[in-house]
């Protein structure tokens, strides 16, 4: 990593947040494995049509505890990377806000799937903190409605069945095409269009490093694959990058 200061793009998925107590979805111990029907709780059609789905969804948000979760060493390592002065952009599939809470500037984090830290009314579009809605659930409201108009509240996330914000996606694609090093952390690289960012980076000549506990479809074309636990592997990888040591210089497979 010599010459110009390299642009580093990091795509993060659910795996980076599991050590903060937030379960992933598709891993061997993920939510979908434990309860295949749980996917309807974050699918826009059933969520809007069925009050019972919404009630179960609110209980899931309460029990997951994402609002109260704290950053772990993986998140903190990326904040350290940013403080090193190297150009960095974090593209996250997560909605937990832990990158920002770890110290990363808002402008350097692109939330591809929105945020679960706020809710929005599907009728009047009024936004309010998720914590306030969960307080209402704890107080006995199983399906809290919009305080302004009585409409259905949903998290400010991109649910299954909804399209990503085209402006956000365009920015993410531009970053992937411009970066010199693309690091995919805690993602199986199976959810598109986010997973396609890795291919865009490769096509533009970037090195691809994958840090994940399970195999991904991109492993054969990655320049480096790291299988160690993320809270150990990512801090070690960041130390290598900051020190200017070789990263992703030998293609896997």
Same domain, 126 and 248: no
Smallest CA-to-CA distance from 211 within 158, 162, 248, 250 is with 248
Those residues whose C-beta lies under 8 Å from the C-beta of residue 171, and which sit 6 or more positions away, are 110
Same domain, 78 and 185: yes
Domain end, chosen from 129, 157, 185, is at 157
CATH number at residue 182: 3.40.50.1220
Query: According to the model, what pLDDT value does residue 31 have?
Result: 55
Looking at the 3D structure of the chain, how many domains does it have?
A: 2
Same domain, 16 and 28: no
Same domain, 232 and 183: yes
98 lies in which domain range?
1-21+70-113+164-253
Please check whether residue 155 is in contact with residue 130, taking contact to mean a CB–CB distance below 8 angstroms. yes
Query: According to the model, what pLDDT value does residue 191 have?
Result: 86
> Which parts of the chain sit beneath pLDDT 50?
1-2, 32, 251-253
Chain length of the chain: 253
Q: Which of 75, 99, 113, 223 is catalytic?
A: 113
Smallest CA-to-CA distance from 248 within 198, 195, 183, 194 is with 183
Same domain, 92 and 123: no
Same domain, 86 and 17: yes
Same domain, 130 and 224: no
- Encode pLDDT of 58-84 as tens digits: 998 888 766 678 999 999 999 999 999
SS3 state at 152: strand
Active site residue 99: no
DSSP state of 111: E
Same domain, 149 and 49: yes
CATH number at residue 147: 3.30.1600.10
Hey, which residues does 129 pair with through a beta bridge? 118
Same domain, 152 and 240: no
Same domain, 54 and 171: no
Other beta carbons less than 10 A from residue 246's beta carbon: 11
Query: According to the model, what pLDDT value does residue 253 have?
Result: 38
């Amino acid at each position: 990593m010599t010459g110009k200061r390299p642009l580093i793009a990091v795509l993060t998925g659910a795996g980076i947040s599991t050590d903060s107590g937030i379960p992933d979805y598709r891993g061997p111990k993920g939510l979908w494995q434990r309860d295949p029907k749980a996917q309807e709780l974050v699918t826009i059609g059933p969520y809007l049509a069925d009050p019972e789905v919404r009630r179960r969804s609110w209980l899931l948000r309460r029990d997951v505890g994402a609002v109260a979760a704290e950053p772990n060493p993986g998140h903190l390592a990326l904040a350290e990377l940013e403080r090193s002065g190297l150009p960095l952009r974090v593209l996250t599939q997560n909605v937990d806000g832990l990158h920002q809470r770890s110290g990363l500037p808002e402008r350097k984090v692109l939330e591809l799937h929105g945020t679960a830290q706020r809710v929005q009314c599907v009728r009047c579009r009024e936004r309010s903190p998720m914590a306030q809605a969960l307080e209402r659930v704890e107080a006995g409201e199983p399906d809290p409605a919009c305080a302004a108009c009585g409409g259905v509240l949903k998290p400010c996330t991109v649910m299954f069945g909804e399209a990503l914000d085209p402006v956000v996606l365009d920015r993410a694609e531009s970053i992937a095409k411009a970066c010199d090093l693309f690091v995919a952390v805690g993602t199986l690289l199976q959810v598109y269009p986010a997973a396609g960012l890795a291919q865009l980076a490769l096509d533009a000549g970037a090195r691809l490093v994958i840090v994940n506990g399970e195999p991904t479809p991109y492993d054969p074309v990655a320049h480096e694959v790291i299988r160690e636990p993320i809270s150990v592997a990512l801090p070690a990888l960041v130390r290598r990058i900051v020190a200017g040591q070789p990263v992703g210089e030998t293609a896997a497979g």
